Structure 1
Amino acid sequence: MLKALLDWLNRTSLVLQIVIALVLGGLVAWLWPAAAEPASLLGTLFISALKAVAPVLVFLLVIAAISNHRPGQETQIKPVIWLYAVGTLAAACVGVAASMLFPSVIHFREAPAAQGVPGEIGQVLMNVIKSAVDNPVNALVQANYIGILAWAIALGIALRHASPGTRTMLDDLGQAITGVIQGVIRLAPFGIFGLVVATFSAAGLDALQDYAHLLVVLVGCMLFVALVVNPAIVWTQTRRNPYPLVLTCLRESAVTAFFTRSSAANIPVNLALAKKLELDEDTYSISIPLGATINMAGAAITISVLSLAAAHTLGVAVDVPTAILLCVVASVCACGASGVAGGSLLLIPLACSLFGVSNDVAMQVVGVGYVIGVIQDSTETALNSSTDVLFTAAACRSAQRKAGKIVPAI
């Protein structure tokens, strides 16, 4: 019986397994709500395993990639970073435009307490700088990806002059951790089954009914960015039909990111997808972890839409210059959002301050974010994480096109 199950898992695509887990999880939540507690253990173990291994994986892969980089060897890191910046700003503009065209009104509920809410954009930037110089051991323990990246880049540069054996050992360690995380990812259907049962047994869809319009605007913006804005950006780089690449990234990256609700935890999935797409390893081994930290198009949408919803609820008039300023602020704030579930919500009070919205009211908006997080945060993370691979692929394909090389088919 067990052997037959393992054979079936090896033969069947991971996406199909996740779809089956979704259906079964929904049925169990509906027919047997008491199963929520034991099922939640599966989800907890799956997410915990991903989050435990991901920081070490990022640390080792970035060190290995940089230490083995030889002078004159080309990478596409700069173009990828530019695409991250343009994509995040474009997403913020979409969120602001949609909120102006289809204004949402929030029915406030009691907001949960939150700590560490930044008061101004300078504080966001200062927090980023402090995170970059964090103790490396503490950065690994706390999954501080900005600190992990900073130390990995510094050590990678220093180890360029190490012996070949040392560099080979680092590469082997990275591959070993990759193998471990790939084994964990194969268990994703079981973890997702547990998450679905626990989520819908506890709250169902009742908690989302009061915020249906707000959710439609949020999810609609994210879908528009994923299916219209991002393909347009990719086309400017590749000059080819972008949708095969876009749909591949959505299918193989966004699906798992939707359920893990963490860009950091989805890094191994993106690394595997980048390898499958035959991208430049020297580029994606750095750009994927970097994207999980700063490429936050979904977060920019969440910050702008919820902030404007608060303004509309209070009857605050928003002029064009303020709306443009919000686009910039939401983009910068999004880059400072942590790559974990709900990381963008605590930056909403900063954006709300542009409209004179008090912190007490802004924290109620954060509370709304937690209520709708089962949909909002999942969709946001799916957009964020899948775009990491998409823009990395776009930059690599662009370089291949300009060099006259044959671009691999999707």
Structure 2
Amino acid sequence: MQQSPKKLGLTAKIFIGMIAGIITGAFLQFLFDDSGDLQFSVFGIEVSTYAVLVEGIFHVLGQIFINSLKMLIVPLVFISLVCGIANLSDPSKLGRLGGKSVALYVATTALAITVAMVAAIIFQPGAGVDIPSDATYAAATAPALSQVIIDIFPSNPFAAFTNGKMLQVITFAVLFGVAMAMSGEPGKRVATLFDDLNTIVMKLVTILMNLAPYGVFALLAKLFAQIEVSTIFALGKYFALVFGVLLFHAFVNYSLILKLLSGLNPMPLFLKMRETVVFAFSTASSSATLPITLETATKKLGVSNSVASFTIPLGSTINMDGTAIMQGVATVFIAQVFGIDLTLSDMMMVVLTATLASIGTAGVPGVGLLMLAMVLAQVGLPVEGIALIIGVDRLLDMTRTAVNVTGDCMVACIVGKSENEFNSAVYYDPEAGVADEEVDLDDFESTSIHHKAD
């Protein structure tokens, strides 16, 4: 009997969508320019094929996909974190979770920018780069540290939900979960409701993941149809160095940290992060990728929900390893372009400022360039130099987001292992979580029919 052909898995479909989107976008950029070389008439109106595809179809599909992911962030974080905190058997464990998570995120960020600056000093990416006479950049104002601390605590939790203030959502979820755990029978009844809600929201994540190949295709097709390839070539040495250090930090530094602090083989981590990395690369947003990152940590990597629901949302907000690498290379690059020598004390100040700023500017729009402006001002470098690298920052932003989400899951594994909230069998099982990615429409139909019969 002939066997039916094996269906493509979700991972393969997402990778196909990514490659197809890159090829399609590159082909459109080669075939058309922004004015649209190929015109056609609709009801007497001239329409550009380029505009219809890139600014129309691809833009709409991509934004719907991103908005759908963002739609899940606040309910997923709040419900999952409340469930995790309420199920903690030892209340003192919450303080350990927070301390370990923040310490690891800060330490990896400091390591990232240190490695980046050493690499930039060795390879000299700014040597021989001409300074454009019109290079300007207006730096946004960074919030005061006191205001950052105040803003962690919401005056109105519903406003925090509406505005997506993740640190405030995390704070309220932790307090709500603690109060629920201390409330006896009423708390247990509400905890049952939250467990059911968590199951439903995670199923919604699975549904959206099955639409990911189309969303990834649309996002990358639009990006590669618009990206300025000439800019990348002009800053080729800078681009290649940042990209290379990002890969080094992800595969070498993370492997060593994971092995030393948990004893785990890093290979399963990288293999199981494939889908999450593609999501992060496509959206260039750790927050938008958060639902997928959390599902990967719990269902594929074996981290318990009580740990992952705390460390992953916190990491998506304050973990800035990829951004720190960009800042390290960019600082040395701009200094070399303007012919300014950085002293050892200047370099140490860059490391300290960028590491602290990774927490202090969490959640601020355009956080990468804002942090870089703070770093440059701290060591007396011209902030206008940021204008030199903006042209290639979009593509690098996608790559450093992929590094950030990998770091989030690595920290979750280490913290989970140290707290005995980790399932090694799931971590080493290559098929773990794969079955959960499938959406069974037949089951939906049979359930619907059953309800109608009742």
TM-superposed CA distance for 1:372, in Å, is 1.4
2:235 is paired with a residue of what secondary structure? helix
> Contact 1:117 / 1:347 at 8 angstroms: preserved in 2?
no
TM-superposed CA distance for 1:60, in Å, is 1.8
1:72–1:244: structure 2 CA closer, same or farther, 3 Å change rule? same
TM-superposed CA distance for 1:309, in Å, is 1.8
2:288 is paired with a residue of what secondary structure? coil
1:220–1:124: structure 2 CA closer, same or farther, 3 Å change rule? farther
* 1:309 alignment partner in structure 2: 333
1:372 is paired with a residue of what secondary structure? helix
The 10-residue stretch of structure 1 (11-20 or 373-382) with the greater mean CA deviation from structure 2? 11-20
* 1:271 alignment partner in structure 2: 294
1:147 to 164, 168, 175: 168
Matched, 1:251 2:274: yes
* 1:85 alignment partner in structure 2: 106
2:355 to 301, 318, 331: 331
Structure 2 runs not aligned, ≥5 long: 33-49, 430-454
1:291 to 287, 311, 315: 315
Query: Of the two, which has the highest radius of gyration?
Result: 2
The amino acid of 2:14's aligned partner reads I
Using the alignment, how far apart are the partners of 2:420 and 2:355 within structure 1? Answer: 30
* 2:67 alignment partner in structure 1: 48
* 1:322 alignment partner in structure 2: 346
* 1:387 alignment partner in structure 2: 407
1:330–1:198: structure 2 CA closer, same or farther, 3 Å change rule? same
TM-superposed CA distance for 1:233, in Å, is 0.7
> Contact 1:397 / 1:407 at 8 angstroms: preserved in 2?
no
Q: Percent of counterpart pairs with the same letter? A: 26
Using the alignment, how far apart are the partners of 2:307 and 2:264 within structure 1? Answer: 21
2:341 is paired with a residue of what secondary structure? coil
Using the alignment, how far apart are the partners of 1:286 and 1:174 within structure 2? Answer: 14
The amino acid of 1:68's aligned partner reads N
TM-score, normalised by the number of residues in structure 1: 0.86
Using the alignment, how far apart are the partners of 2:364 and 2:268 within structure 1? Answer: 28
Structure 1 runs not aligned, ≥5 long: 1-6
TM-superposed CA distance for 1:74, in Å, is 5.4
> Contact 1:63 / 1:155 at 8 angstroms: preserved in 2?
yes
Q: Trace 1:162-177 onto structure 2 (pairs within 5 A).
A: 162=183, 163=186, 164-177=188-201
The amino acid of 1:354's aligned partner reads Q
Matched, 1:231 2:255: yes
1:103 to 110, 119, 124: 124
Question: Could you give the per-residue CA deviations for residues 254-294 of structure 1, whole angstroms, max 9, x where no partner exists?
Answer: 22111111111111111111122222221111111111112
The alignment covers a number of residue pairs equal to: 392
Using the alignment, how far apart are the partners of 2:229 and 2:423 within structure 1? Answer: 52
Matched, 1:16 2:12: yes
Using the alignment, how far apart are the partners of 2:86 and 2:222 within structure 1? Answer: 44
Using the alignment, how far apart are the partners of 2:374 and 2:247 within structure 1? Answer: 25
* 1:126 alignment partner in structure 2: 146
1:363–1:14: structure 2 CA closer, same or farther, 3 Å change rule? farther
1:70 is paired with a residue of what secondary structure? coil
Using the alignment, how far apart are the partners of 1:215 and 1:338 within structure 2? Answer: 25
TM-score, normalised by the number of residues in structure 2: 0.79
Using the alignment, how far apart are the partners of 2:263 and 2:192 within structure 1? Answer: 38
Using the alignment, how far apart are the partners of 1:181 and 1:407 within structure 2? Answer: 20
